[in-house]
Copies of this chain bind each other. A is one copy, B any other.
Amino acid sequence: MSHAQAMLETHPRETIFDRAALLECIEACIDCAQSCTSCADACLGEEDSAGLARCIRLCLDCADVCDASGRILTRQTEPDAGVTRALLEACRQACRTCGRECERHARHHEHCRVCAGACQRCEEACGEALSALTA
């Protein structure tokens, strides 16, 4: 059991939506933030970094949004569904936009291929969390 799961299971309050969807979304956000921080840095270290400016930029943005989303989803005390929903929409959008850009460089840079996978997982997890939150 991951620490994230153990923390969720020992929390004194109820979760606002399905626990499995919530845990997957927390872990996907944290994982995607790390992959995007890494991909921005790997692109910066490439010889053709000048052609990767858009990929670097979108990875930095996606890391920041996923970081904030991972923190907010982690909190279960006195949640506000409206704030959570709006941030999940922004996170899904950032992951979709970043993932598509990474995909464009996946043939030339293996780290972009890996990062595109992390973005796609997080985009889907945000979608599932949004469905669970509205249900």
The interface of chain A, by Cβ under 8 A from chain B, is 2-4, 6-8, 10-13, 26, 30-31, 34-35, 37-39, 41-42, 44-47, 49-50, 53-54, 56-58, 60-61, 63-65, 67-68, 70-72, 74-80, 82-83, 86-87, 89-90, 93-94, 97, 109-111, 113-115, 117-118
Contacts and interface: CB of A to CB of B under 8 A. Distances in A.
Contact of A34 (B3, B11, B89): B3
Given A34-B30, A90-B90, A115 B77 contact: no
Nearest to A87: B90
The 10 closest A-B CB pairs, nearest first, are A45-B77, A7-B38, A86-B90, A10-B110, A54-B78, A10-B111, A41-B75, A68-B68, A57-B78, A86-B93
